[in-house]
Amino acid sequence: MKIIRRLYRAIIACWRNTIFSIRNLKGRVRKTGRLSLNVPLICDGSGQVTLGSDISIGYGLASKIGDGMVRLQARGANARISVGSATQFSNNVQVFAEQSVVIGSRCLIGDAVLILDSDFHDLSADGRHARPAETAPVVLEDNVFVGSRVIILKGVTIGKDSVIGAGSVVVRSIPPGVIAAGNPAKVIRNL
């Protein structure tokens, strides 16, 4: 029975790596080291995605909405998404960039996290269906821990070693070394 489980896991890991390779053949994804895939990773859009070494994508034993897929979408030709080494993503994470999203090294990104660097549509009634919308870079500095179901919006920098509580909506920058939570997220205490 153990041999069958190991064989099954090996086949699934090989399949996920193959799917990753097939979906990213256009040369828009740069990988500098080992990538551990526990769920499918989709890197799409017309921009550039850069992945550091020893990144972990998904947690295989966690419950999945759909297939647990992680999506990194650099939408515009000049859009950039960068992920530092040893960062870990849980399942169902979505990162959308029209300009720039930078995730530092050793970050922990909880399940169903959404990171956006743009409004994607103008808020005025007349301009709502026209593009481009307002954008501003998003930066998660090193060793940031983002809890489950957090939404991080454009123009936000989350300081080194900070923690964002589950279910928070981050609309303003968070300083280093703090715990922040709520909607909108506010600093609760220093670490």
Query: pLDDT band at residue 22, thresholds of 50, 70 and 90?
Result: very low
Please give the pLDDT value at position 180.
Answer: 98
List 71, 80, 121, 149, catalytic entry:
121
pLDDT in tens, 133-179: 789 999 999 999 999 999 999 999 999 999 999 999 999 999 999 99
Over range 39-46, report the average pLDDT.
86
Please give the pLDDT value at position 23.
Answer: 53
Residue 129 among the catalytic residues: no
- Tell me if 180 sits within 8 A of 165, measured CB to CB: yes
Could you give the 3-state DSSP secondary structure of residue 114? strand
Name residues whose C-beta falls within 8 Å of residue 152's C-beta, 6 or more positions apart in sequence: 113, 114, 115, 116, 138, 140, 146, 158, 164, 170
In the chain, what are the domains?
Answer: 2-190 (2.160.10.10)
- Tell me if 148 sits within 8 A of 111, measured CB to CB: yes
Question: Rounded to an integer, what distance in angstroms lies between the CA atom of residue 147 and that of residue 168?
Answer: 8
Tokens coding 84? 């530092």
Q: Count other Cβ atoms within 10 Å, centred on residue 191.
A: 9
Please give the pLDDT value at position 137.
Answer: 97
pLDDT at 17 over 60: no
Say which range, 65-79, 82-96, 144-158, has the weakest mean pLDDT: 65-79
Please give the pLDDT value at position 25.
Answer: 46
Tell me what the pLDDT averaged over the chain comes to. Answer: 87
Place of tokens 């017309």: 46
Report in angstroms the alpha-carbon separations of 1 from 4, 5, 6, 12, 125.
5, 6, 9, 17, 61
Name residues whose C-beta falls within 8 Å of residue 95's C-beta, 6 or more positions apart in sequence: 71, 72, 73, 81, 101, 103, 115
Residue type, 149: R
Tokens coding 128? 């709502």
Name residues whose C-beta falls within 8 Å of residue 154's C-beta, 6 or more positions apart in sequence: 116, 117, 118, 119, 134, 135, 136, 137, 138
